[in-house]
Structure 1
């Protein structure tokens, strides 16, 4: 039998859910998540997913020994693992795709996230992030959001409301005074920076992470001022 080309993806699981199709693939020893035919992320690097959490923690005002964190999107688990290895207090992960949660709890991605998921600070909420932000009354010291390829490239059309004036107002309402909003993106967005300022955030900035090809990945950062 001929050897499998390491560059050829192998589908490990495919699931059709209320938000469309999600697929877990393996390619050359790395895992990939595809949503509705759109490549979301893989395990080949993870620097920008870690920066999402690190930059949020660094931007927090002092005097918060165990800040509360909400991570929007479990993905391949890099952001959660980074958070569990830092001084965060409560870590809430919002993930709407049951299949993604299952891949971590009892599937191939458990090798990445098992310890972080077992951490007593970690809680997984199986719900839609946009709905959660609009309905919960909880506040967090930081929101780290990574559910799309960025504000200008959403996985599903309804995700676009997260980056609208209404969605950003909901994000702001869920933050404690001085809290940090951090949003991962596959490319910079000047329009999103302006939207953040218009929504009442300040200290808006973008941190870049170089990638092998194309424009850098970025993390958009903004603070709630009061």
Structure 2
């Protein structure tokens, strides 16, 4: 069995420690003993962007992505938004970008230089608040993959995003017809209800972690602003 090798660690503001490890040809970001993401099972994180953006009516969508991670959702969104789309990524851990430009450069390529995209070192909730108070324009889609599901596993402060109040703020940050999409490693029927209570029309899809119907089953919520 191939051993896992620690490549780097990073402190999460107000949270624990992330660890980037290699396992043969694969790379994994760990939170303690939990795998947050890895190169063997990236398909569902790509589908978070692909499926959500396919549902939009906006021709050149403005998209907010919560969490850069290994960039799977970001790169899939770049491929889907068209020449005049706009992506804003909120990433709370600065070291993540160092990893993207260092040991994960083979994944990143030149995508961080794409003029359609911008990575901001901040809490995604702050950008949602900015859209609500007029500091920035509203979004056509908000894609969230900042935890392993709708609870604050990475940092306690993230839990507020998934409350009914937090979800209502996300809905207000969307243009009419906009979509809030949330990735999860497992289903959560209570979260579905909270989305509906916050005023969204909700669709829940099950997506496999790997192409061709392989790997674990993950859950993605697609919640449309009425």
Length, aligned pairs only: 215
Q: Which residue of 1 aligns with 2:55?
A: 59
**What is the match of residue 22 of structure 2?**
26
Structure 1 Cα separation of the partners of residues 30 and 145 of structure 2? 14
Cα deviation, 1:27-81, whole Å, max 9, x if unaligned, reads: 12111112355321111121101110011112213xx221111111001111111
CA distance in 2, matches of 1:95, 1:23: 16
- What does the per-residue CA deviation read over 1:104-147, in whole Å, with 9 as the maximum and x for residues that have no partner? 13x11121123221111010010011233224433110001000
Partner of 2:203: 205
RMSD: 1.7
8 Å CA contact retained: 1:80, 1:113? no
Segment drifting more, 160-169 vs 15-24: 15-24
The 5-angstrom pairing of residues 71-220 of structure 1 reads 71-88=65-82, 89-105=85-101, 107-136=102-131, 137=134, 138-152=137-151, 154-202=153-201, 204-211=202-209, 216-220=217-221
Q: TM-score, normalised by structure 1?
A: 0.89
The CA deviation at 1:169 is 1.2
Closer, same or farther: CA 132–38 of 1 in aligned 2, 3 Å: farther
Instruction: Output the CA distance in 2 between the equivalents of 1:113 and 1:218.
Output: 25
Higher relative contact order (CA 8 A, sep 6+): 2
Task: Give the Å deviation of 1:206.
Answer: 1.1
Q: Secondary structure at the match of 1:218?
A: strand
Contact kept? 2:150, 2:184, Cα under 8 Å: yes
2:9 is matched with 14
Gaps of 5+ in 2: none
Query: When the two structures are superposed, what TM-score results if normalisation uses the length of structure 2?
Result: 0.89
| Cα distance change on mapping 1:115 and 1:222 into 2, 3 Å | same
Contact residue 49 and residue 78 of structure 1 kept, 8 A? yes
Secondary structure (helix, strand or coil) at the match of 2:109 reads helix
**Structure-1 separation of matches of 2:10 and 2:33:** 12
Moved over 4 A (4+): 211-214
> Which residues of structure 1 form unaligned runs of 5+?
none
8 Å contact from structure 1 (residues 70, 140) kept in 2: yes
